[in-house]
Amino acid sequence: MWQALYEELKGKKFVVIAVALESRGADAARPSIENAKPTYPCLIDVDHVVAREYNMINVPQAVWIDEKGHIVRPTETAGVTEGFRKMNPKTYEMPKEEMEAGAAARRRYLDAIRDWVAKGPESKFVLDAAEARKRTPRFTPEIARAHATFRLGRYLVEHGRRDEGLQTLERAAALNPDAWSIWRQMADLDTVGKAGGPEFWARVAALGEKHYYPPVDMPGETKAP
């Protein structure tokens, strides 16, 4: 959906910058990027620098930055729903109503971006500086330690100390249990494909009423609790 939006709006001083959080390196990220055939910039972030700087915990998440470099919408879920939680993990089939709800969420999010590009600071979706700061995810000492521990674990795995590195990555995930980006990378480095396997689904089920994708707080959407 991002390629189509970029092609539509690229002549209006708009650009998409995609960042793959992929600690296994460029070779692991390349197939997905090449299959999408993007003409906008795609970066590969092995150390989760972007996730650390913008306090991102999952994908897809987005930040809106205007032409002056101001964040007008801080980190938020980008056009997805939790419908996947009703997916059959064996067949990957989803109820029709959940698929339709997901498609509607994508349309609403892309329409919000179109409104911003067309109206600039007058868009109803743009937040003023005070509100943007208020909504910026809080960065705690535990989150800071989680990111530092994650980088150490990845370094150890990359430099041949695999068992020690994986144990360190597990500690990173425990320090910030809300950071699915850290857990999924830990799982992928441990066993390829594990991040989408039974361990993942068990972890999702353990959320109970807690969100996997926090709702987006914008006009037309349900406000996050």
Residues 130 and 150 in one domain: no
Residues 153 and 182 in one domain: yes
Is pLDDT of 191 > 70?
A: no
pLDDT average, residue stretch 49-61: 94
Evaluate whether residue 82 is within a structural domain: yes
Domain boundary among 136, 161, 182: 136
**Domain of 123, in residue numbers:** 78-136
Evaluate whether residue 124 is within a structural domain: yes
Residues 84 and 127 in one domain: yes
Mean pLDDT estimate for the chain: 92
Evaluate whether residue 91 is within a structural domain: yes
Query: Would you say the pTM of this structure is higher than 0.75?
Result: yes
pLDDT of residue 225: 47
Evaluate whether residue 17 is within a structural domain: no
Sorted by sequence, the CB contacts under 8 Å of residue 129 that are 6+ apart come out as 70
pLDDT of residue 194: 67
Evaluate whether residue 29 is within a structural domain: no
Residues 126 and 101 in one domain: yes
Evaluate whether residue 175 is within a structural domain: yes
- Count of domains in the chain? 2
Angle of helix 180-190 relative to helix 162-175, nearest 10 degrees, comes to: 160
Model pLDDT for residues 7-53, shown as the tens digit of each residue: 999 999 999 999 999 988 899 999 999 999 999 999 999 999 999 99
How many CB atoms sit inside 10 A of residue 162's CB?
13
Evaluate whether residue 84 is within a structural domain: yes
Is pLDDT of 124 > 70?
A: yes
Model pLDDT for residues 177-188, shown as the tens digit of each residue: 999 999 988 888
What the block records as the tokens of 44 is 């590969």
Give the C-alpha separation, 110 to 217, whole Å. Answer: 15
Residues 123 and 173 in one domain: no
Evaluate whether residue 219 is within a structural domain: no
What the block records as the tokens of 94 is 């989803």
